[in-house]
Amino acid sequence: MQVPAKTPAERVFHALSFELIATIICAPLFSWIMGVPLAHMGALTLMFAGVAMAWNMVFNAIFERIEHRYRLSRTLMLRVVHACLFEGGLVVMLVPLGAWWLNVSLWEAFVIDIGIMLFFLPYTFFFNLAYDHLRARWMSRRALA
């Protein structure tokens, strides 16, 4: 059974759930690691989440359109490419924001972002793997009903 394309509402749910879980993990973790007050890091984390959520919806819509057009299967390699391209786009958008908010140089913000990426690369991969698996199960159950 081919799993149907995501609706706009599902894309919003996917992005919100991804960012909510990430924010719950990241704000206290990065606050502790960087020695920055939780409120300050929490605000930055929410700004990052807003940018990332918008990028998530746009990027995944484009990626899935390409995936369907060329009939690509979600192999391990395609998932790695997906995660790397997604995170690479975020680097371009988030490094200047982080530099400004934390009052550090672009280089320092880039180094911090590398640390953040070390968390988000596997998080993105495993979140989407789990989401796709759960979605396929839900869709197959819905088709049987």
Give Cβ neighbours of residue 11 (< 8 Å, ≥ 6 apart): 57, 60, 61
Q: CA-CA distance, 95 to 5, in Å (whole number)?
A: 32
pLDDT tens by residue, 132-144: 999 989 888 877 7
Mean pLDDT over the full length of the chain: 90
pLDDT digits 0-9 by tens, 4-45 = 778 888 888 988 899 899 999 999 999 999 999 999 999 999
108, 109, 113, 121 from 27: Cα distances, Å:
19, 16, 14, 17
